[in-house]
Amino acid sequence: MVSFRSSFRPRAGERVLTSRRFVVPVSGGSVDQRLLESLSKICFRQAADITLVYVVEVEQSMPLDAELPEEVNRGEAVLRQAEDLLRHDLDPGTVRVYAELLQARTAGAAIVDEATDRNADVILLGATLRRQFGRLTVGDTVDHVLKFAPCEVIVIRQALPDWITESMEWS
Amino acid sequence: MYIIVVGGGKVGYYLTKTLLVEGHEVLLIERDRQKVEVFSERLGSVVLAGDGAEASTLSAAGAQRADVVIAVTGEDEDNLVVCQMSKVKFHVPRAIARVNNPRNELLFQRLGIDVTVSQTEHILKLIEQKIPEKSFVHLLNLRHDELTIVEAHVSGDSKVANKRVSEVEFPVHCVIAAIIRGPDPVMALPSTEILPGDELIIVTHAAEEEMLQAMLSQ
Amino acid sequence: MNVVVMGSGRVGARVATILDQHGHRVCVVDTNPDSFRRLGDSFGGDTLIGTGIDEDVLRRAGIEDADVFIAVTNGDNRNIMAAQVARTVFEIGHVILRIYDPVREDTYRRLGLHTVCPTTTISAMIIDQINDFLPAYEEI
């Protein structure tokens, strides 16, 4: 006997939900923790492929494949920490976590390329506000990703630090 | 090779694009930030905003490891200073300057610039010196996208060598604009004989560029 | 003495006026004819519209008979190029030029040009004056 509904029931081993693919740049900055917490919430009880990305930006004065052991070590440490946190919070049965250490001229372009290559559904990234040439900016990376990412982008910007709020005339 | 191009005008942009396609590492330095943004969108992160005559810009561009610096701004004085700074301060082995006023060519050479060029095609040839010699170089697209200008080198065994212009069966939408013979341009009249070693400057319909290339490289 | 001054800005016009008052033969070159107003009515020298990086313009300004060439336009690169034209092409013994950018100034001074860098000179003067009234900050 074949019931109507059962034809939609997955066979053993098949997954109902296609997993969403996340690309998540981490930098080791203060916004990382909020980023990972939010990611855990978004992915809770969901199937997801998460690629953590750390980009080592190589100055033009060096070739792109220059050996940068210090930066690479730092990147690896940041990635390891983020991975541990996610593995602790999320169910390894439904969520797969990958880590990518990239060396590139600019982080923004590297993140967009990674998202394109992995056919990502979402880029989730953190923004830190700072002052550059007298104006507030979230930086070139966030700018670039917002403009050129092929997929959805979620940006988490931390609350304004006091030094900025205090410098604003309306505050 | 690592090549720094200074000046994001038409020449600089086209040069950068071509060199990237050739597989070189290239950085384009341009003063105008708006242009830098547009170029970065098109070419990727190979564009730096700054004044190429300024030592700090050249340093940020990694001039100390550059094999070639090419200055192609519209101002001769800027091209001169970019090249001199590159050579004197950053010891760049090869500095090439575009000369807008052809009369400055001699002066620039006397002032230590390795090579001066007044035309795009020559710049390209100089860079491509190390690459096996090309017999066919795409020079530029005209304002109407469908027309392009190419330069073709006539070798001794070319099918068109030692023939009159009128005797060569070019694709329908191709016109020989000029023949460069040695240092001199020669008018391409129907009766003009094409000699081995000539450079043909040809205006062609883009659709026929490949056909033309195939025909000339036979 | 015959002097060609390129650039009729505040500095160029002032230098030209003073040299003129001292009885020298001065020709001032500038691309902008309005700038010659800075020379004042009593200026007895010559003025020429054009750019000093052009050999023809320099020739018309009398560079072939000049003892001194002074390049003080607002463009560092223009001054650098004109100075080298004067030195290399016309073999003028005394070529003086202004370069605002200290690094460029240092580079061309090492190449043997007589350069003046207002940026370093004025900064040093200001620091000196601070040191004068604040002896405690000698280390600035």
Residue range of the domain that includes C46: 2-137
User: How confident is the model at residue B131, as a pLDDT?
Assistant: 42
Q: Which residues of B touch A63 (CB under 8 A)?
A: 2, 25, 65
Residue pair C4/C69 in contact by the 8 Å Cβ criterion: yes
ipTM > 0.85 (yes/no): yes
Q: Note whether C101 contacts B101, CB cutoff 8 Å.
A: no
pLDDT in tens, C37-59: 999 899 999 999 999 999 999 99
Tell me which chain B residues have a C-beta less than 8 angstroms from the C-beta of C75.
Answer: 77
| Statement: residue A1 has pLDDT above 50 | no
Chain C residues with beta carbon closer than 8 angstroms to that of B91:
none
B123 and B18 both lie in a single domain: yes
CB contact under 8 A, A105 and B61: no
Is residue C60 within 8 Å of C50, Cβ to Cβ? Answer: yes
Domain shared by B88 and B169, yes or no:
no
pLDDT at B214 (0 to 100): 78
The pLDDT value given to residue A7: 40
Which chain C residues are closer than 8 Å to B89 by Cβ?
103, 107
Q: By mean pLDDT, which of B59-73, B114-128, B181-195 is the weakest? A: B114-128
Chain C contact probe: residue of B56, B73, B81, B92 with most C CBs at under 10 A: B81
List CB contacts of B5: < 8 A, sequence separation 6 or more.
Answer: B12, B15, B16, B19, B26, B27, B28, B29, B70, B72
Q: Is B201 in the same domain as B111? A: no
Structural domain total, chain A:
1
Domain boundary among B92, B127, B162: B127
- Please list every residue in chain C whose beta carbon sits closer than 8 Å to the beta carbon of residue B101: 54
More confidently predicted of B144 and C130:
C130
Specify the 3-state DSSP secondary structure of B82. Answer: helix
Show which of B127, B156, B182 is a domain's final residue.
B127
The pLDDT tens digits of the residues spanning C80-115 come to 999 999 999 999 999 999 999 999 999 999 999 999
Q: Assign residue C81 the CATH number of its domain.
A: 3.40.50.720
What confidence category does residue B5 fall into, taking pLDDT thresholds of 50, 70 and 90?
Answer: very high
Which pLDDT value is given to residue A167?
Answer: 72
In a domain, A78, yes or no: yes
Predicted confidence at residue A2, as pLDDT, reads: 40
User: Contact partners of A by the rule of 3+ C-beta pairs under 8 A?
Assistant: B
**What's the whole-number mean pLDDT along residues A115-141?**
89
Distance of alpha carbon A155 from its chain centroid, rounded? 9
Chain A nearest-CA distance from B95, in A, is 18
Chain B CB within 8 Å of residue A109 CB:
yes
Q: Is A92 inside any structural domain?
A: yes
Q: Percentage of residues in chain A with pLDDT exceeding 90?
A: 60
Structure tokens at A36: 């990972």
Q: Say whether B45 and A59 touch across the interface (CB within 8 A).
A: no
Do the two chains C and B touch, given a threshold of 8 Å on CB pairs and at least 3 pairs?
Answer: yes
Q: What angle do CA A9, A13, A16 make, to 5 degrees?
A: 45
Residue of B nearest to C106 (CA): B89
Regarding whether B118 and B10 lie in a shared domain, the answer is: yes
Same-domain pairing of B41 and B95 = yes
User: Per-residue pLDDT averaged across A123-127, rounded?
Assistant: 94
Residue A29's domain spans which residues?
A: 17-167
| DSSP assignment string, B112-168 | T-SEEESSHHHHHHHHTTSSPPPSEEEEEE-SSTTEEEEEEE--TT-TTTTEEGGGS
Which residues lie across from B138 on neighbouring strands?
Answer: B150
B/e letters for C103-116, b = 16+ CB within 10 Å, e = fewer, are bbbebbeeeebebb
Q: Which of A109-113, B131-135, C136-140 has the weakest average pLDDT?
A: B131-135
Cβ of C80 within 8 Å of Cβ of B76? The answer is: no
A116 in reach of chain B (CB within 8 A): no
Provide the number of structural domains found in chain C. Answer: 1
pLDDT in tens, B104-154: 888 898 898 887 776 655 555 555 554 444 556 656 655 556 777 777 888
Residue in B with minimal Cα distance to C89: B107
From the list A62, A63, A109, the residue facing B45 with the nearest CB is A109
Q: Is the pLDDT of residue C131 over 90?
A: no
**What CATH code is carried by the domain that includes residue B105?**
3.40.50.720
Residues B17, B122, single domain; the answer is yes
How does DSSP classify residue C50? S
Element (H, E) at A136: strand A135-137
pTM of the model: 0.71
Closest Cα of chain A to B36: distance in Å? 13
What's the domain range around B195? 136-216
Any idea what the CATH number is for the domain that residue B185 is in?
3.30.70.1450
Cα–Cα dist C37/B171, whole Å: 62
Token digits of residue A170: 């309306």
Contact C/A (≥3 CB pairs under 8 Å): no
Task: Give the pLDDT of residue B181.
Answer: 85
Last residue of a domain, one of B127, B151, B180: B127
pLDDT at A10: 41
A61 to B44: CB separation less than 8 angstroms, yes or no? no
Burial class (CB in 10 A: 0-12, 13-18, 19+), B135: middle
Q: A108 contacts in B (CB within 8 Å)?
A: 45
CB contact under 8 A, B48 and A61: no
Q: Are B57 and B26 in contact (CB under 8 A)?
A: no
pLDDT tops 50 at residue C124: yes
- Name the more confident of B176 and C35: C35
For residue A120, give the CATH number of its domain: 3.40.50.620
Q: How many domains are contained in chain B?
A: 2
Greater confidence (A132 vs C96) lies with C96
Are B77 and C80 inside 8 Å of each other by CB? yes
Contacts of residue B62 in chain A, CB cutoff 8 Å? Answer: 59-62
Decide if B40 contacts B29 (C-beta within 8 A): no
Decide if A88 is inside a domain. Answer: yes
Judged by CB atoms closer than 8 Å, whether chains meet at C75 and B53 is answered as no
**Whole-number mean pLDDT of chain B?**
84
Q: Check residue B209 and give its pLDDT.
A: 79
